[in-house]
């Protein structure tokens, strides 16, 4: 009987751990969604204040102003672009 109680207790513990993992995953997903929304809202052209548009050039990603006021690229993508032009 003791062995059955131990196994039942282990199962209950496993179920509770799975529920906690699911809750944590939902919390992480919600946090990531809010961070993406905040990032998308903050990515505006400093001149015209319009939202920047993301473009891909092969493996390189850049953000460009829809009015042609400029384009922005991060350091890692700039290195990729420089290597591809050699």
pLDDT in tens, 21-32: 999 999 999 999
Res. 1 pLDDT band, cuts 50 70 90: low
Q: What is the pLDDT of residue 56?
A: 85
Residue 20 pLDDT > 70: yes
Question: For the ranges 3-7, 9-13, 44-48, 80-84, which has the lowest average pLDDT?
Answer: 3-7
Q: Give 55's strand partners.
A: 62
**Are residue 83 and residue 64 in the same domain, yes or no?**
yes
Sign of the CA dihedral 31, 33, 38, 42? Answer: positive
**Are residue 35 and residue 51 in the same domain, yes or no?**
no
Q: What range defines the domain where residue 1 resides?
A: 1-42
Distance CA 71, CA 5 (A): 65
Among residues 61, 22, 24, 17, which one has the least CA distance to residue 43? 61
**Are residue 35 and residue 4 in the same domain, yes or no?**
yes
Q: pTM for the full model?
A: 0.47
**Are residue 53 and residue 70 in the same domain, yes or no?**
yes
**Are residue 59 and residue 82 in the same domain, yes or no?**
yes
**Are residue 52 and residue 86 in the same domain, yes or no?**
yes
The total domain count for the chain is 2
Q: Give 72's strand partners.
A: 63
């Amino acid at each position: 009987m003791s062995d059955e109680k131990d196994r039942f207790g282990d199962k209950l513990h496993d179920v509770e751990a799975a529920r906690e993992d699911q809750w944590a995953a939902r919390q992480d997903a919600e946090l990531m969604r809010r961070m993406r929304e905040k990032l998308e809202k903050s990515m505006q052209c400093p001149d015209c204040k319009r939202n920047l548009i993301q473009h891909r050039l092969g493996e390189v990603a850049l953000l460009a102003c829809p009015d042609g006021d400029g384009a922005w690229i991060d350091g890692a993508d700039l290195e990729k672009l420089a290597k591809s032009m050699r």
